[in-house]
Amino acid sequence: MVALHRFANPARFLRISTAILPWSAAATLLLLGAGFYFALFDSPPDYQQGETVRIMYVHVPSAWLALMIYSVMAGASAVALIWRHPVAELTAQAAAPVGCVFTALCLVTGSLWGQPEWGTWWVWDARLTSVLVLFFLYLGYIALVNAFDDPTRGARAGGILAMVGFVNVPIIKFSVDWWNTLHQPASVFRAGGPTIAPAMLLPLLLMAAGFTTFFVSILIVRLRAALIERRLRLAQLGQEAELV
């Protein structure tokens, strides 16, 4: 917790993020470049799905990031509400649009995969429906944070929604185990080990790692912009107070 409070200092966070950003950006380029190469040119087509299986290399990492980013939002919101951590509050707000995009990408690529495999673009499957709920949670959080003239009230309301909505994350994760769904069960992170062939697992993990470092890079950029914007707003309010 002491280490957590160290990051509450915006100036210290800006210094640390300046050092991390070039490395995370470089890692993103390398990982995504390698991931796309192996996904498109090295991994074999599936014996049942054929070339359609390549959608998995975007769909699955997008789903992982959608869940991970919402978990980051919920954790940051809890820290902001309990300890009044200024950077945590901005972290949740900066992460939300990125998570929303990954969730939308997950839904779109899932539909593109489902049409040739299931014969339909959409079914009200437990996994698909719970991910759609996650997408609306992202949208609701973004709308709620910006619905108040007072940024503090908006951040508090959005933080409560993020924490309450976190109950949907385990529902998404275990929906294929709890209900009889069309969606396939876990094939990577499972008790018996991955069931995916190594030639397919490598690009999948590379893409997931690349998406993760991309998120870290974008989050740092958005956080730095938010901190600078907040500093300018406070300076402007100070000037207006002096004039009064």
User: pLDDT digit string (tens) for 172-231?
Assistant: 999 988 877 777 777 776 666 777 888 999 999 999 999 999 999 999 999 999 998 888
146 vs 187, residue with greater confidence: 146
Q: How far apart are CA 106 and CA 158, in angstroms?
A: 23
Task: Examine the pLDDT at 1 and tell me if it is beyond 50.
Answer: no
CA 199 to chain centre: 26
Are 145 and 93 spatial neighbours (Cβ–Cβ below 8 Å)? yes
Q: Domain residues for 79?
A: 24-40+53-176
pLDDT at 91: 95
187 falls within a domain: no
What are the structure tokens assigned to 76, written together? Answer: 């940051």
Task: Examine the pLDDT at 239 and tell me if it is beyond 70.
Answer: no
85 falls within a domain: yes
7 falls within a domain: no
225 falls within a domain: no
164 falls within a domain: yes
Q: How far apart are CA 238 and CA 244, in angstroms?
A: 10
36 falls within a domain: yes
65 falls within a domain: yes
Mean per-residue pLDDT over the chain, rounded: 89
Q: How far is CA 207 from CA 30, 34, 36, 82, in A?
A: 10, 8, 7, 35
pLDDT at 243: 38
Q: How many domains does one find in the chain?
A: 1
124 falls within a domain: yes
Q: How far apart are CA 27 and CA 37, in angstroms?
A: 15
pLDDT at 8: 59
pLDDT at 12: 85
- Write the pLDDT tens digit of every residue in 98-117: 999 999 999 999 999 989 88
